[in-house]
Amino acid sequence: MKSVILSAALLLSVTSAQAESIYCTFTEPFLSVSYNSDTNKVKITSPDNGGAELNGIVKYKQGGVIRFEVEGLTQYLDLYLNKEGSDGMSDFIYPFEGVISEQLYGGCETDSLKKRLP
């Protein structure tokens, strides 16, 4: 298990030579959040409010958690590398759980680690 977490952390590292994006999906409310390690941008999209792309701040926390913050916003996205996630509406199992400010739970995938059906 430790090797999986280490591999995922290395894969998601912003200092990596190859860019890797993270895509998270949430429901109730419907919301999509993505992070591009090449541009260090966080894109937030919702059907009601459209979208915005802002500068991201990445912090590595204990317990296999990567926190993504956005300049000017108080909310943050925690990516749990040791938990599978769900978008709450489909049967897909996501490789990671995403949690926005300890209130909204969803599923996250990357360019190389994709969601799957059970």
Share of the chain above pLDDT 90, in %: 77
Confidence of residue 19 (pLDDT cuts 50, 70, 90): confident
Residue 35 has pLDDT above 70, yes or no: yes
Residue 109 pLDDT exceeds 90: yes
Q: For the chain, how far is it from start to end, CA to CA, in angstroms?
A: 20
Structure tokens at 18: 């190859």
Contact (CB, 8 A) for 72 and 56: no
Residue 76's identity, in one-letter code, is Y
